[in-house]
Structure 1
Amino acid sequence: MTLPDGAPTLDEILINTATTPWREKSLKGVHEKMLWRNEATGASVALIKFDKGASIPEPHLHASNQMMFCLSGHYEYTATGVALKAGSFYCNPKGNVHGPTLAHEETIVIEIYDGPHYPMKPSWYTDEKDAH
């Protein structure tokens, strides 16, 4: 198959997520397994695990569109009452202020960004790597 001029190439990827270790982020109770990242655009696909009681403490916005599919658990945007449970799909448009959040139980989501995560590192992360 010939790709159109300018189309990005993408090699096939296969990751056994069951054997991939969680990387703990600098915000207590938040872990990730990065599945794919485009370094040029900041787009990414990751598994994110929130321990029970973990929270994004402040309202915030993203520099691109954020999409999440909840695999398990109960995760709430407390200001609006929007709650993700197993099977829920959440789409948050670029620039929309949302949060804070609370994981009512251990929650695992697939999180997708179509560009960079944040316009700048949020205050709750001490490691710049956690904001990408």
Structure 2
Amino acid sequence: MAKPEYEFFPVTDIEYTVCPGDDPKITERILSKDPESGVATRILRYEPGADSTPMGVQKHDFWEEVYILEGSFVDLTLGKTFRAGEYACRPPGMPHGPWRSDEGVVTFEVRYHSK
């Protein structure tokens, strides 16, 4: 299966929902999702003060591309701050996070499996 086909629509038609981990300060707006594999295109939002430390370092079995639209967050493992306008491309298995954002951050993410 693949992600569904959509023509342009206002992303604000999709509500933010709390991400896995159940921190109400970390939410996502799923724009498109493959129901079989679970990979998705989403907008991720950390409200000011959000901290994903309880979720630990993340590793995925899929590719993940992330573009920071606004704000910033800190990769607590690397001790490095990433800001609006920066981009990451993570292959499957690449460790990242946990993250903390003092000012809040919004990212656009595309996740997929390569064949």
Q: Same fold (TM over 0.5)?
A: yes
Q: Specify whether residues 37 and 28 from structure 1 end up closer, same or farther in structure 2 by C-alpha distance, changes over 3 A only.
A: same
Identify, as 1 or 2, the structure richer in strand.
2
Q: Could you tell me how far apart the structure 2 residues matched to 1:68 and 1:98 are? A: 12
Q: List gaps (5 residues or longer) in structure 1.
A: 1-7, 116-132
- The count of residues paired between Structure 1 and Structure 2 equals 108
Determine whether 1:79 maps to 2:77: yes
Q: List gaps (5 residues or longer) in structure 2.
A: none
* Higher Rg of the two aligned structures: 1
Q: Could you tell me how far apart the structure 2 residues matched to 1:71 and 1:97 are? A: 22
Q: Under a length normalisation based on structure 2, what TM-score does the superposition of the two structures give?
A: 0.80
Determine whether 1:20 maps to 2:14: yes
Identity of aligned residues (%): 18
Q: Specify whether residues 93 and 82 from structure 1 end up closer, same or farther in structure 2 by C-alpha distance, changes over 3 A only.
A: farther
Q: Specify whether residues 108 and 35 from structure 1 end up closer, same or farther in structure 2 by C-alpha distance, changes over 3 A only.
A: same
Q: Could you tell me how far apart the structure 2 residues matched to 1:27 and 1:13 are? A: 32
CA deviations over 1:42-89 (Å, ceiling 9, x no partner) = 221001110111122112211111111110001111211343211111
Moved over 3 A (4+): none
Q: What residue number does 1:70 align with? A: 68
Q: Could you tell me how far apart the structure 2 residues matched to 1:100 and 1:109 are? A: 15
Q: Could you tell me how far apart the structure 2 residues matched to 1:32 and 1:76 are? A: 18
Q: What residue number does 1:44 align with? A: 40
